[in-house]
Amino acid sequence: MTSDQILTEQKNKNKTSLTITVVLLAAGLVLLFAKQWIGGLFIVAGAVLGAGLLSRTKDIKAQLEKAGGEAGLCDQLSAEQTVVFDKLDAVLTPELAVVYRPFFKVHVLKDMAKFEVGIGPEGVQKALFLTAPDGTRNKIAQVQKGDGRQEDFDALYEMVRGYFADRAAGSAA
């Protein structure tokens, strides 16, 4: 997935939410003018959805700022060493780990203290986390046994492990 596709997908989600919000608010107003009290519920639902949209928009802008804005993200995603893991909805660049579904998140690798793998009960699930210095775990990939994504998970794990090994070797020198 390219940077344009990732950003377009996020913008389309926001446009869809905005359309639904406007329709709910308009229908609520019409119903209220027609003395149908259910219109109030439509207005409340529209307001809640609108608040969620504003929150998501602010979050996306904050995530983009971690990458240096849209231009910085595009530069990172077009770097030669960038690897896209479509099955995991993640992209690994030399400086960033980008997760684009279900929520858009950008993780700056140099700001992370370590990486961890969490294994669920009986080894059915595995998750790869980047852990911030304050202990916050940021999930960048998750697979379940037999879901056909294990190879991508293992490749992502090896690349992240390699990044942290290189960083440790560089700081030791």
pLDDT reported for residue 137: 94
Question: Do the domain assignments include residue 115?
Answer: yes
pLDDT reported for residue 1: 63
Domain extent, residue 43, equals: 3-66
- Domain termination site, one of 66, 91, 109: 66
Question: Do the domain assignments include residue 74?
Answer: no
pLDDT reported for residue 3: 61
pLDDT reported for residue 168: 85
Q: Are residues 56 and 115 in the same domain?
A: no
Q: Are residues 91 and 143 in the same domain?
A: yes
Q: Are residues 29 and 87 in the same domain?
A: no
Question: Do the domain assignments include residue 73?
Answer: no
Question: Do the domain assignments include residue 14?
Answer: yes
Question: Do the domain assignments include residue 160?
Answer: yes
Q: Are residues 88 and 38 in the same domain?
A: no
Q: Are residues 25 and 90 in the same domain?
A: no
Question: Do the domain assignments include residue 71?
Answer: no
Question: Do the domain assignments include residue 101?
Answer: yes
If one counts the domains in the chain, the total is 2
In DSSP notation, the chain reads: --HHHHHHHHHHHHHHHHHHHHHHHHHHHHHHHTT-THHHHHHHHHHHHHHHHHHHHHHHHHHHHHTTHHHHHHHHHTSTT-EEEGGGTEEE-SSEEEE-SSS-EEEEGGG--EEEEEE-GGG-EEEEEEE-TTS-EEEEEEEETTSS-HHHHHHHHHHHHHHHHHHHHHHH-
Question: Do the domain assignments include residue 72?
Answer: no
Q: Are residues 43 and 111 in the same domain?
A: no
Q: Are residues 107 and 30 in the same domain?
A: no
Q: From the first residue on, what is the mean pLDDT of each consecutive set of 10 residues in the chain (173 residues)?
A: 74 90 94 90 95 93 91 87 92 93 91 92 89 94 91 94 88 62
- Domain termination site, one of 66, 92, 109: 66
